[in-house]
Amino acid sequence: RKARPLTDKWTFSTNGVSIMGRNGIPCIGFGPGAEAQAHAPNEITWKQDLVTCAAVYALLPSVYCKD
């Protein structure tokens, strides 16, 4: 059985506050790394997380731009 991706909340803020909260434009937050290392001094992420994230970013437009 294939593992399902984790869907959760972030305990920090993103531009989504303005995009959705102020302008009413639905959005999602998606990025590489772990929350514990995000937006902190000496922030780090892992190379494989960057590669995976870039692949999703590259694929996402094709989901919405079907022929």
What pLDDT sits at residue 33? 84
What is the DSSP annotation of 1-67?
-PPPPP----SS--THIIIIIIT--------SS-GGGTTSTT----HHHHHHHHHHHHHHHHHH---
- pLDDT-based confidence at residue 40 (cuts at 50, 70, 90): confident
Question: Residue 48, CB half-sphere, CA atoms under 13 Å: how many?
Answer: 0
What pLDDT sits at residue 20? 87
Amino acid at 54: A
- The structural domains of the chain, with segments of one domain joined by +, span 16-64
- pLDDT-based confidence at residue 55 (cuts at 50, 70, 90): very high
What pLDDT sits at residue 52? 94
Mean pLDDT, residues 21-47 taken together: 85
